[in-house]
Chains A and B, each alone.
Chain A
Amino acid sequence: MSTKIEEHSVRVAAICDRMAALEGPLLPILHEVQEEFGHIPEGALQTISKKLNLSRAEVHGVASFYHDFREEKAGKHVIKICRAEACQAMGADDLGDHAKSRLKVDWSQTTSDQKVTLEPVFCLGLCACAPAAMVDGKVVGRVSKDRMNRILDEVGA
């Protein structure tokens, strides 16, 4: 076992200990692990399963069920564009196509320089100021193509 994985497992174990008293601790633990490492690192599932007395398969099943949990680290910047109906009504499909072509990626992919990950999201609750996006956790409404260009310029894409 490499030292990196050992170090990871110590940190993951600490997170598990901190959250063990919660009723139904697995989702909060996975969120914390992802917050700390940027993804669910190799070996984390093993540590969590031991700590919670679950099989590794069960933990894997949970982590892989939810769209939020990543196996790989995301790019430096994460741009989420809403693809749901209210945003579609205001041109979200074109906006998504525009971002994909400028970044030369498809949905859920990261640019080759690891700078930007483009993700679809189904509703940010900004349906009265559509189309909407979330850039590194910050919400943006009424995103025109020009606005998207400025966002992409700002993140250096």
Chain B
Amino acid sequence: MSIKVYVPLDSGSVALGADDVATAIAQKATTAGADVKVVRNGSFGMYWLEPMVEVETSHGRVAYGPVKPEDVDALFAADFLTGGEHKLYLGRTENIPFLKSQTRLTFQRCGFIDPVSLEDYRAYDGLTGLKNALEMTDEQIVQSVTDSGLRGRGGAGFPTGIKWNTVRQAPAEQKYIVCNADEGDSGTFADRMIMEGEPFVLIEGMIIAGLATGATKGYVYTRSEYPAAIRIMNEAIEVARANGVLGENILGSGKTFDMEVRMGAGAYVCGEETSLLNSMEGKRGVVRAKPPLPALEGFMGRPTVVNNVISLCSVPVILEKGADYYRDFGMGRSRGTIPIQIAGNVKHGGLYEVGFGLTLGEIVEQIGGGTATGRPIKAVQVGGPLGAYFPKELFDTPFDYEEFAKRDGLIGHAGVVVFDDTVDLMKQARFAMEFCAIESCGKCTPCRIGSIRGTEVVDKLARGEDPELQIELLTDLCNTMKFGSLCALGGFTPYPVMSALTHFPDDFKPHALDIAAE
């Protein structure tokens, strides 16, 4: 029997050379006459070890990393096909401390399986949640999700079960499940990783959402910046259809659900749910005023569940193991697990799924291992471009929706971006305003005009033109944007700006900003 060698197909791994490594291994195996089957798996999310190559041996899966194509000869010489010793040897995959200390519920199979092999997915207990759901009434499924305490992982943290119940009770001929996979926040890649590494769990979650609400059609709206995720999702949907998981007779139940992938076109604001719906309808991605809620008048004016990828991917495990099992992880009103994405200037960057409640300091210093440059950490931005910059003094903040809100921050989609002491927070504040100006949909004035005025005020501050007045103006402007904007783009841009100003006042003394001409 051929020896299985795993080389990830995850974009992050490919960006570090995984394709070349896979080719080199296959070629070397041929010339060495070794019976090797190269399997392209998802990533475990330990990007400092990528490309991480694994071999299935008699004593389990063992890992080597980070592997470069030029290491392949030496790996063969070291007998890595039987788990031989080599300087890149990492031991058994499941014992790597970064992975072992996690609580992987949503990402339980990501990395272990061939993403488009339904056989692999089933072998790891995939589809059990769906089978259970098929035995339940719509009301029971919704109750289970409500009881689990699952809240929207896109950032708003709205209880998923309550949203589903609204759609369930809405009378309509056609309802929809829309998966918001428009993961535009810098520092986040959980949606990409799971779509590339375990697409069937998203499909399973969407079918369950359909059964719970009476929706028979689903869409995954994702980004054009994610071509691999689109390719793999489409492939998995085809496999699911061919095997009776999707279609008019889900697993022989007589129930219907089908889905397709839609690609955005480079507009950040389309991650906002109403703007996403407009985009899907073929309109400009302009934000809609709420009410009406998308749950009642969503895609094509019909009742629509709009859920984030990770919310939907967390549903199968809830239906498989029960609401109590999921709810028992976490703290306060933040129940279950959260896939934290540790990024930027950090030694051990990657995805770390764990129950809510770790402190920010534990995340970036212990798990992340400090900065990649080896310099001291100065600031950590949590929650993407609309999230606050936290100083070291706030590293005791537990990772929890409410605890972050108490400190004028947000966890958003759980991206954590680390900066060393060379960062200039006035420059970052200016960037937040500039980004808002570039990506504003233009519908509301505080966002459209406020963001431009914001960059101008920061520029005046940098030049030292009446600094006290500029700070007063900037504060007032942020207040207007926060309370006057229609959606989170204009409404949350004040978070990075005001947190930078509040926690790093020294950076706001007049000085030249290192900004190239636009």
Query: Chain A interface (Cβ within 8 Å of chain B)?
Result: 23-28, 30-31, 52, 61-62, 65-69, 82, 84-90, 93, 96-97, 100, 106-107, 121-130, 132, 134, 137-142
Contact = CB atoms under 8 A, between A and B. Distances in A.
Contact of B225 (A89, A125, A140, A142): A125
Contact of A25 (B279, B282, B343, B435): B282
B341 A128 contact: yes
A141 B14 CA distance: 8
A101 to B, nearest CB: 9
B189 A125 contact: yes
Interface in B346-365: 346, 349-351
12 contacts: A85-B385, A85-B431, A88-B431, A89-B344, A97-B516, A122-B435, A123-B183, A127-B344, A128-B45, A129-B15, A130-B345, A141-B12
Contacts of A96: 516
Contacts of B263: 27-28, 31
Scoring A30, A96, A126 by chain B CB atoms within 10 A of each residue's CB, the highest score goes to A126
B265 interface: yes
A127 B415 contact: yes
Contact of B280 (A27, A52, A84): A27
B284 interface: yes
A151 to B, nearest CB: 12
A82 B32 CA distance: 41
B185 A24 contact: no
Contacts of A67: 265-267
B406 interface: no
Contacts of B104: none
Given A65-B286, A123-B186, A125-B11, 20 more contacts: A27-B262, A52-B282, A84-B187, A85-B417, A87-B186, A89-B344, A89-B345, A89-B417, A89-B420, A93-B514, A97-B516, A121-B225, A127-B186, A127-B349, A129-B47, A129-B50, A132-B15, A139-B14, A139-B15, A140-B15
A40 to B, nearest CB: 11
Interface of B: 11-12, 14-16, 45, 47-48, 50, 183-189, 191-192, 224-228, 262-268, 279-286, 299-300, 341-346, 349-351, 372, 381, 385, 415, 417-420, 423, 428, 431, 435, 438-439, 441, 514-518
A122 B188 CA distance: 12
Nearest to B438: A122
Contacts of B14: 138-139
A122 B268 contact: yes
A127 B279 CA distance: 26
A65 B279 CA distance: 10
A9 to B, nearest CB: 20
A86 B343 contact: yes
A36 to B, nearest CB: 15
Nearest to B441: A65
A129 B52 CA distance: 14
9 A-B pairs with least C-beta separation: A26-B282, A128-B349, A84-B186, A141-B15, A66-B265, A127-B343, A67-B266, A89-B344, A128-B47
Scoring B47, B184, B515 by chain A CB atoms within 10 A of each residue's CB, the highest score goes to B47
A106 B518 CA distance: 8
A93 B428 CA distance: 12
B417 A86 contact: yes
B186 A129 contact: no
Given A27-B262, A93-B516, A86 B280 contact: no
A87 B423 CA distance: 12
A139 B344 contact: no
Scoring B48, B300, B345 by chain A CB atoms within 10 A of each residue's CB, the highest score goes to B345
Contacts of A100: 516
A13 B185 CA distance: 36
A127 B417 contact: yes
A67 to B, nearest CB: 4
Contact of B224 (A61, A68, A107, A127): A68
Contacts of B419: 89
Contacts of B189: 125-128
Contacts of B187: 84-86, 127
Contact of B265 (A27, A106, A128): A27
Scoring A23, A62, A86, A138 by chain B CB atoms within 10 A of each residue's CB, the highest score goes to A86
B186 A24 contact: no
Contacts of A82: 186
A123 B185 CA distance: 7
Contacts of A129: 12, 15-16, 47, 50, 349
A66 B439 CA distance: 10
B133 to A, nearest CB: 25
A84 B47 CA distance: 18
A37 to B, nearest CB: 15
A141 B12 CA distance: 7
A120 B16 CA distance: 20
